[in-house]
Amino acid sequence: MKLLLTSNGLENNEISLVFKNLFNKAITDVKVLFIPTASRTEFELTYVTKSIQELIKLGVSDNNIFSYSPDKQKLSNFDKFDCIYVCGGNTYYLLDVFKKTGFDKQVIKLVNEGLIYVGVSAGSIIAGPNIEITGTDDENDCKITDLSSLNLTECIISPHFCKDEEEYVADFRKNSIYPVIGLKDNEAIVIIK
């Protein structure tokens, strides 16, 4: 299992290099299952475009990036992909869609079978055991109550970590049974099991 959990994507050169080194093939041959589901607002969608451009800039062919929203499309053949790239946006909505469509179970299966998981912001949060760290940063307009998530890692990621969030994260840590990692923008964590 290989996970690359980022705060804001692959724009940092070191993170980009780590991304490239996760694969046992040329970056031009890497096929990416790109999940923009969490991005619903015009502002969030600008980050989707940015993420796709980062992948292309790294050498991933635009023909090898397949944008997929499990709430809007059906896909049965996941075997052709090397990587699942889960974008940021509203974490509650992302988890809700994954659970309602059963895509959460599909992602867990694929990652356990060797598909590389790359998360950005909400995509990094959802990789943990739960999304409780999200708090009020996102609106829970889908009214999801079961906040357990993919559990690909036992740590909780707090993306966009900054001085203003230190107190909130410190308080959250006191009540969490899981380790909490604050990731500043342009930071990432790699987990290989």
pLDDT digits (tens, 9 = 90+) for 126-164: 999 999 999 878 899 999 999 999 999 999 999 999 999
For position 135, what pLDDT does the model report?
83
Annotation says 121 is catalytic: yes
Per the annotation, the verdict on 149 as an active-site residue is no
For the chain, percent of residues with pLDDT exceeding 70: 100
Q: Domain total for the chain?
A: 1
**pLDDT of the residue at 187:** 96
Length of the chain equals 193
Q: Could you say which of 121, 124, 149, 158 is catalytic?
A: 121
Q: Which residue in the list 61, 67, 69, 160 is annotated as catalytic?
A: 160
- Whichever domain contains 18, its CATH number is 3.40.50.880
Instruction: Name the DSSP letter for residue 25.
Output: S
Q: Which domain holds residue 170?
A: 2-192
**pLDDT reported for residue 79:** 86
**Which residues make Cβ contacts (< 8 Å) with residue 128, sequence separation at least 6?**
149, 150, 151, 152, 153, 154, 155, 156, 157, 178
**Under-70 pLDDT residues of the chain:** none
Question: Cα dist. 116→79, 113, 123 in Å?
Answer: 12, 9, 13
Cα torsion angle, 17, 95, 181, 169, sign: positive
What pLDDT, on a 0 to 100 scale, did the predictor assign at position 96?
97
